[in-house]
Amino acid sequence: MLRVKLNEEFERLGELLKSTQERQKRLRALERTVAYKAAEQLRDEVKKKAPTNPELKPYVDGLDVQDIDGHPNALAVTAELTKKLSAVDTSKTLAIFPARAGEPVFPVAAILRSYEPWAVDQLPPVTAKSVAFREVTEGEVDAARAANVLTRPTVDKLLQQAGVKLGSEFVVSGVAMLDLANLALRIEFGAPGVPRAMHWRPAVKKAKRGEFVKNMARDPEFQRFVAKTLFDAGFGAYTAEAPPTDDSIKAAEAATFQDFQKRLG
């Protein structure tokens, strides 16, 4: 008869994992790592299939993994690129005023948002905290400009009634950014003047099929990390494989991506 006796390390691990807090800590670390590495694979897959046009390089380079506040096991692949007002091609750009999660609603933004999109050269001479620039065709700008001409008198009156002082030109005091969701969709599905390249849909389909997680499960390095996390009594570097990202977004802001995801199918 062969008698099998647990060694001291295994007994110590058993005692350690009797602690609910310790078990939860290790499982949370493992869940976070899976989410983080899956998001990294999604980002890399999108970048790999994205167009290589030099003018789109800032968009592609800007894509990265971001944490979602309050949701450690949910991450987003997104970007936010600033844009100088002076660098905008007014013949191919529209201005919009998206609601930013957690920010107060100022009268200027609320009024301008009600009458968007705006041709950049038709924006009222006010100061806005933030604006997003949407790259479109000249025809779309012409259509917006025609609508803006009709509504400008009403908008100017509403701004004055709200106590907003009209100046000599439109000014951005805070953030001017590129509407990346719109740009990504135009690239994905094709639009006049934009090179078509399906880069999001193939990557999202892989994520939905669980391919990224399967890739991890086959990776010997990841297998060793799982074993250490779950069965090494002395292992404490739970977050080493999935450190906090450089940037984070609020949950309400992440919710605004739902429309983008639905369009991808």
Q: Is 26 exposed, middle or buried (0-12, 13-18, 19+ CB in 10 A)?
A: buried
Predicted local confidence at residue 25, as pLDDT: 82
Q: Is 95 exposed, middle or buried (0-12, 13-18, 19+ CB in 10 A)?
A: buried
Tokens encoding 221: 């390095």
Predicted local confidence at residue 149, as pLDDT: 96
Nearest-CA neighbor of 254 among 27, 7, 39? Answer: 39
pTM of the model: 0.81
Tokens encoding 1: 């008869």
Predicted local confidence at residue 255, as pLDDT: 82
Q: At which residue do the structure tokens 């892989």 appear?
A: 206
Predicted local confidence at residue 8, as pLDDT: 59
Three-class DSSP category at 158 = helix
Q: Domain boundaries in the chain? A: 8-78+199-264, 85-185
- What is the DSSP secondary structure assignment for residue 122, as one 8-state letter? G
> Exposed e or buried b for every residue in 129-159, given b needs 16+ CB within 10 A?
ebbbbbbbeeebbeebbebbeeeeeebbebb
pLDDT in tens, 64-99: 999 999 888 889 999 888 888 888 999 999 999 988
The CA angle 125-131-135, to the nearest 5 degrees, is 105
Predicted local confidence at residue 111, as pLDDT: 95
pLDDT under 70 in the chain at which residues? 1-20, 101-103, 235, 238-239
Q: Give the list of residues 6+ apart from residue 176 with CB closer than 8 angstroms, or none.
A: 82, 83, 84, 85, 130, 131, 132, 133
pLDDT in tens, 209-229: 999 999 999 999 988 888 888
* 117 prior amide bond cis, ω within 30: yes
Predicted local confidence at residue 191, as pLDDT: 83
